[in-house]
Amino acid sequence: MKVNLGTGAQNSHDWDRVLAGDFSTPPATPDYKCVQAALALGDLAEPLGFDGIWFPEHQGTPYGMTPNPIQALTYFAARTERVSLGTFVAVAPWWHPVRLAHQIAYLDIVSNGRYTTIGLGRGVSKSEFDAVGVPREESRQRFNETLDVLKLAFSGERFSYDGEIFKFPEMSLRPEPLSTDLFDRIYSSSSTPESLEILARRGMVPLFVGNKPIWDAGEEVKKVNTFRAEEGLPPCQPKNVMFMYCVASEDDVPKTEEWIYTANRDVTVHYGFADASNFKGVKGYEAYANREGSATALLAESVQGDGTGGPKPGDKKGPPGYHASNLLIGTPEEIFKRLKAAQEACSFSEVTIVPQFGTMPYEDAMESVRLFAAEVLPAVHDMEAPLHPAVLPEGVTA
């Protein structure tokens, strides 16, 4: 199974200043140092044997801080020769679709076809939508129209479009991309049942970003494959993003509690999940409002009290946070066991590990990545990643 390295710039220690609204002083750690550290983490991917490098898209808060993941991947396209490139995710409603198509095509050319996972999402954070001047209530329509335009643009033909939001006359995508299968490389991230069905019926394959218990993700894959069967499409396997910290001794696991706590805090504040009024009355986000700030998008209910043992449905639940079934934390043996169990539950074909989150120092993340690469990566490369019967609709075989 392929294993990618995901990275983004976190300035998690700066949230106290931001939440206090005290902008009279700069961050204690300049943002550029966080960006440089995230890039240095990405530089480990190819020499350590990872299969790809992935970036998210975020701006405007201390969280994620990658305002253009395609730009970041272009940087790595020039610094690498072998690894593939991916986004988790580029937020489609923040882009003009023609501009996005050209950016993807250009990266395809300069990377010699290595942008193999075009992960796209709809976006959630009010502050991010406000910053780019895009109404959130238009996000679903913008996302759907963007998919329409990308399909036309990557067809190799001249195209025009007349949608509710985007309209433009006949044109060509220039430069034309190197690859002819770019639309087939699009994976979609969704957090609501409505979006899941819409995208599945369009043929989109899911991309899960630590956003739900792994067994719930498995149930969603079964739903996706049911919708696909109804549309005459074959079953699919998702790609998953999981958060990782690899240690030589179990004695080092407890220090991750602060990092997980701050990561949960970062997600909650950045997306506004703690206040359901951020979503009430906003078209397309009704499911978020109904959850009253509970688990959604990158946020899910955390499982407490089981240490490094694998959580199971029905375990005691605690405050919102990254779900423990998506946390690969422990010794190499424990991480491999958790990863294998997750693949069996969800049938993902490929995994991206994110080794830095919350206030974890980047130096610790780099040490963890090196240990993972030495002790876990070879075994995962040798591990099969089949499509399990549990994620197939009744009467359908792989």
Determine which helix (DSSP H) or strand (DSSP E) holds 246, and give its type and residue range: strand 239-246
Q: Which residues of 45-55 are buried (b: 16+ CB within 10 A; e: fewer)?
A: bbeeebbbbbb
Q: In CATH, what is the architecture of 2-302+321-391?
A: Alpha-Beta Barrel (3.20)
Which CA distances in Å does 323 have to 135, 164, 216, 224?
A: 30, 38, 11, 21
pLDDT at residue 49 in the model = 98
pLDDT per residue rounded down to tens, the chain (398 residues): 999 999 999 999 999 999 999 999 999 999 999 999 999 999 999 999 999 999 999 999 999 999 999 999 999 999 999 999 999 999 999 999 999 999 999 999 999 999 999 999 999 999 999 999 999 999 999 999 999 999 999 999 999 999 999 999 999 999 999 999 999 999 999 888 899 999 999 999 999 997 688 999 999 999 999 999 999 999 999 999 999 999 999 999 999 999 999 999 999 999 998 888 899 999 999 888 876 544 333 333 333 333 333 334 334 343 455 778 889 999 999 999 999 999 999 999 999 999 999 999 999 999 999 999 999 999 999 999 999 999 999 877 77
Q: Three-state DSSP class for 283?
A: coil
Hey, how many other C-beta atoms are within 10 angstroms of the C-beta on 158?
10
What the block records as the tokens of 387 is 């499509």
User: What gap in Å lies between CA 398 and CA 330, rounded to an integer?
Assistant: 33
User: What gap in Å lies between CA 86 and CA 239, rounded to an integer?
Assistant: 11
Q: What's the Rg (C-alpha) of the chain?
A: 20
Residue where the block lists tokens 């940087």: 75
Q: Three-state DSSP class for 103?
A: helix
pLDDT at residue 321 in the model = 58
pLDDT at residue 69 in the model = 98
pLDDT at residue 392 in the model = 97
Q: Three-state DSSP class for 271?
A: helix
List the chain domain ranges: 2-302+321-391
- Any residues with CB less than 8 A from the CB of 14 and at least 6 apart, and which? 27, 28, 29, 62
Q: Three-state DSSP class for 23?
A: coil
Is the bond leading into 98 cis (omega within 30 degrees of zero)? no
User: What gap in Å lies between CA 286 and CA 295, rounded to an integer?
Assistant: 14
Supply the pTM of this predicted model: 0.93
Taking Cα atoms as reference points, which of 134, 56, 65 lies closest to residue 95?
A: 134
Determine which helix (DSSP H) or strand (DSSP E) holds 67, and give its type and residue range: none
- Count CA within 13 A, CB hemisphere, residue 42: 29
Please provide the size of the chain in residues. Answer: 398
User: What gap in Å lies between CA 128 and CA 143, rounded to an integer?
Assistant: 16
pLDDT at residue 295 in the model = 38
pLDDT at residue 292 in the model = 53
- Any residues with CB less than 8 A from the CB of 128 and at least 6 apart, and which? 58, 59, 60, 61, 91, 94
Q: How far is CA 124 from the centre of its chain?
A: 13
> Degrees (nearest 5) of the Cα angle 259, 2, 239?
70
